[in-house]
């Protein structure tokens, strides 16, 4: 079975210890979390978790079944299997040796420079994984000093339930 990246959306009760129980579930079964984002929803009693995990269909099915057994879990969805949108935020600190060319790359990707120093610039980009990887590929020759990424967040597309 082929392993691929899955984005799992988990709606949970916004209670103390829920994140620890879900992380413990993954750890106890030897599943690695590639990315994780958690935040309160429009309802302050409910939080939305977006979990990035790599695995085949059998592993994904097992993860979803185990998540659904947890008492604080309201709903589990594999966003990867439906029309969905996903985004990630990345901050990249790059050597400021050639600001003109860096600025061209930033403009091309619709990103922005959010900090400028004598030796480096910090760039912010929001996008999907492919777009982020393309920008990083173009920035590498300038010398990347640091990369900070959020976890992926995802939502079902228009018309999906």
pLDDT digits (tens, 9 = 90+) for 110-132: 999 999 999 999 999 999 989 99
CA contacts within 13 A on the Cβ side of 14? 11
Burial 8-31, CB ≥16 within 10 A → b, else e: bbbbbebeeebeeebeebbeeeeb
pLDDT of residue 161: 52
Residues 6+ apart with CB under 8 A from 25: 66, 67, 70
pTM (2 d.p.): 0.81
Give the span between the Cα atoms of 47 and 67, in whole angstroms. 15
Summarize the confidence of residues 19-42 as an average pLDDT.
90
* Least confident among 47-51, 79-83, 102-106, 111-115: 79-83
Residues 6+ apart with CB under 8 A from 62: 29
Q: What is the second-level CATH architecture of the domain 84-156? A: 2-Layer Sandwich (3.30)
Q: Which two tokens stand for residue 1?
A: 């079975």
Is the pLDDT confidence value at 9 over 90? yes
Question: What DSSP line would sit under the chain, residue for residue?
Answer: ---EEEEEEEEEE--TTHHHHHHHHHHHTTPPEEEEEEEE-SSTTEEEEEEEEEE-HHHHHHHHHHHHHSTTEEEEEEGGGSSEEEEEEEEEEEE-S-HHHHHHHHHHTT-EEEEE-SSEEEEEEEE-HHHHHHHHHHHGGG-EEEEEEPPPEEEE-TT--
Q: What is the mean pLDDT of the chain?
A: 91
Yes or no: domain 4-81 corresponds to CATH 3.30.70.260 = yes
Query: What stretch(es) of the chain map to CATH 3.30.70.260?
Result: 4-81
Is the pLDDT confidence value at 157 over 70? yes
Query: What stretch(es) of the chain map to CATH 3.30.70.1150?
Result: 84-156
């Amino acid at each position: 079975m082929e392993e691929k990246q899955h984005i799992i959306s988990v709606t949970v009760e916004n209670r103390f210890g829920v994140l620890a129980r879900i992380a413990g579930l993954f750890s106890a079964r030897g599943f690695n979390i590639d990315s994780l984002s958690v935040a309160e929803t429009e309802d302050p009693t409910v939080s939305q978790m977006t979990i990035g995990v790599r695995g085949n269909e059998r592993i994904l099915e097992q993860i979803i079944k185990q998540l659904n057994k947890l008492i604080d879990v309201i709903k589990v969805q594999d966003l990867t299997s439906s029309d969905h949108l996903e985004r990630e935020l990345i901050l990249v600190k790059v050597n400021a040796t050639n600001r003109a060319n860096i600025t061209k790359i930033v403009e091309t990707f619709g990103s922005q420079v959010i900090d400028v120093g004598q030796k480096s610039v910090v760039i912010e980009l929001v996008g999907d994984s492919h777009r982020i990887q393309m920008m990083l590929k173009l920035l590498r020759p300038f010398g990347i000093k640091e990369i900070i990424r959020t976890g992926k967040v995802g939502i079902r597309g228009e018309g999906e339930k």
